[in-house]
Amino acid sequence: MKESDLYLPLKRFLESQNYEVKGEVQDCDALAVRGKEAPVVVELKLSLNLNVILQAVERLSLTPKVYIGIPKQCKILNRRRRHIIKLLRMLGLGLVVIDSDRETGSVKVILDPGEYRPRKSKHRQERLLGEFMKRVGDPNLGGTEKIKGIMTVYRQRALAIARFLQKQGPTKASHIARTLRESKARDILYRDVYGWFDRVSIGVYELSPRGKQEIPLWREEADNSAQHGQTIGCTRTR
């Protein structure tokens, strides 16, 4: 398939809406004009990539009606449709998907260009800032791969409890809560998000085999303040 294979189906589609259409007008793959309306520019590409997005953004200096046209079998659109549409909406670009058949090919408008005003989420912002303020120190390198996981406030609290059990052996949850001043100790032990704890009797917990294996992998300084008796906050982020 060539990019030019997308042109004729697109031309027919636009002409059905009373546009006059011409190809390759001053670097624009397709230019459509209807009366005194702002012209429509469509950049045709076989794949959705950074180059075509940059091209389309450049065309916004000519008209606010700029679309990117891609074939319907474009794989990245099928895999990341929601994120792609959000990005193009933020940039004020439109998107059309084209069936490249010269005779029967059709065009589907996925997104029309327009001004974008993202909705603010106060709840998500509060969670973000809560995690920042309550996290002890700066235990993660930005950009670190998250295969093992990152250090969050919740993980710091669980680590403090795990290291306490590592030193003390089987212990009552109430004793851990008092010693570490950790109000959520019972909940953390009971839920056992990371599989680090085993319950040996009612209210008594010890470090699990998985815990014994994984705890040494985490940097000791991540919960130094917890070892000094400071209370660490908690968010839902794990």
**Whether 26 and 94 share a structural domain:** yes
| pLDDT recorded at residue 238 | 41
- The first and second tokens of residue 17, run together, are 């809406």
Q: How far is CA 54 from CA 4, 44, 57, 90, 185, in A?
A: 20, 13, 5, 13, 51
Q: Is residue 235 part of a domain?
A: no
Q: Is residue 105 part of a domain?
A: yes
The burial class, CB within 10 Å (0-12 / 13-18 / 19+), for 92 is middle
Residue 68, pLDDT score: 94
- Select from 118, 116, 100, 120 the least CA-distant residue to 108: 100
Q: Is residue 104 located within the same domain as residue 155?
A: no
> Tell me, what's the pLDDT at 140?
59
* Spatial distance between the Cα atoms of 235 and 127, rounded to a whole number of angstroms: 7
Residues 95 and 164 in one domain: no
pLDDT at 132 (0 to 100): 74
Number of domains comprising the chain: 2
184 in the same domain as 92? no
Q: How much is the pLDDT for 41?
A: 93
CATH number at residue 197: 1.10.10.10
Whole-angstrom Cα distance, residue 72 to residue 143? 34
Q: How far apart are the first and last CA of the chain?
A: 46
The verdict on residue 237 lying in a domain is no
| Mean pLDDT, each 10-residue run in order, the chain (238 residues) | 86 92 88 91 90 91 92 82 89 90 80 76 75 67 58 88 93 93 91 90 92 79 41 35
Has residue 140 been placed in a domain? no
In this prediction, residue 126 carries a pLDDT of 76
pTM, full prediction: 0.56
Same domain flag for 20 and 89: yes
Containing structural domain, residue 191:
146-227
What's the chain look like in SS3? CCHHHHHHHHHHHHHCCCCEEEEEECCEEEEEECCCCCCEEEEECCCCCHHHHHHHHHHCCCCCEEEEEEECCCHHHHHCHHHHHHHHHHHCCEEEEECCCCCCCCEEEEECCCCCCCCCCHHHHHHHHHHHHHCCCCCCCCCCCCCCCCCCHHHHHHHHHHHHHHHHCCEEHHHHHHHHCCCCHHHHHHHCCCCCEEEEECCEEEECHHHHHHHHHCCHHHHHHHHCCCCCCCCCCC
The CATH number of whichever domain residue 22 belongs to comes to: 3.40.1350
